[in-house]
């Protein structure tokens, strides 16, 4: 099984940005945790991060016919991007939405998620562990 983990804008700043909200784990450490977890559960994993909406759309399109599951944290684009929603719908790959923080308990504008409409599960507020939980969900779903 191939899993693609996509992170949107400012998630490369994890560990530096607002640590009271997002914690102190850096993006590099997050990547290492994801790679270790992939090995543990026996899946292949690819990681991608971009600050640009169109690049995220391009990368989702490139997953078509190649990737079996997507973990996506679109960052701020969660709350604005119909383009990312449409890309996920277009490729029709099982996807899980992840947020490090508890978005549903923050500002009102963070409580809207477009991508959620194309995801079979959402994990919020579990810190970086949420990514690993999302991988487990995809693995279970893939196993039937």
Pairwise CA distance, residues 140 & 82, whole Å: 28
Rounded to whole angstroms, how far apart are CA atoms 98 and 137?
Answer: 12
Size of the site for ligand DQA (CB under 6 A): 10
Q: Which is nearer to ligand DQA, 9 or 46 (CB)?
A: 9
Q: Please give the torsion angle defined by the CA atoms of residues 12, 16, 20 and 24, in that order, rounded to the nearest 10 degrees.
A: 80
- Per-residue contact track with ligand DQA, 102 to 141, x per CB under 6 A? -x------x-------------------------------
- 78 binds ligand DQA, rule: CB under 6 A: yes
Catalytic residue status for 22: yes
Binding span for ligand DQA by CB under 6 A among 24-32, 56-64, 72-80, 133-141: 72-80
Question: Of 60, 72, 75, 96, which one interacts with ligand DQA (CB under 6 A)?
Answer: 75
What the block records as the tokens of 11 is: 């998630």
Is-catalytic flag, 114? no
Beta-bridge partners for 12 = none
Over the window 87 to 106, marking each residue x when it contacts ligand DQA by CB under 6 A and - when it does not, the resulting string is ------------xxx-x---
The H helix count followed by the E strand count for the chain is 5, 5
Phi, psi of 27 (to 5 degrees): -60, -40
For residue 92, the minimal CB distance to ligand DQA (Å) is 23
Catalytic-labelled residue, pool 37, 77, 99, 131: 99
Strands, E assignment, 8-125: 44-49, 69-73, 95-99, 121-124
Per CB under 6 A, residues contacting ligand DQA are 10, 73, 75-76, 78, 99-101, 103, 110
């Amino acid at each position: 099984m191939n899993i693609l983990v996509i992170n949107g804008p400012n998630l490369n700043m994890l560990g530096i940005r607002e640590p009271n909200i997002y914690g102190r784990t850096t993006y590099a450490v997050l990547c290492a945790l994801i790679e270790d977890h992939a090995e543990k559960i026996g899946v292949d994993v690819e990681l991608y991060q971009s600050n640009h909406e169109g690049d995220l759309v391009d990368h989702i399109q490139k997953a078509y016919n190649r990737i079996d599951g997507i973990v996506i944290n679109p960052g701020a684009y969660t709350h604005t991007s119909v383009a990312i929603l449409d890309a996920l719908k277009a490729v029709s790959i099982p996807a899980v939405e992840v947020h490090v923080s508890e978005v549903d308990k923050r500002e009102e504008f963070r409580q809207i998620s477009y991508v959620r409409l194309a995801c079979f599960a959402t994990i919020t507020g579990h810190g970086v562990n949420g990514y690993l939980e999302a991988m487990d969900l995809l693995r279970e779903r893939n196993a039937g």
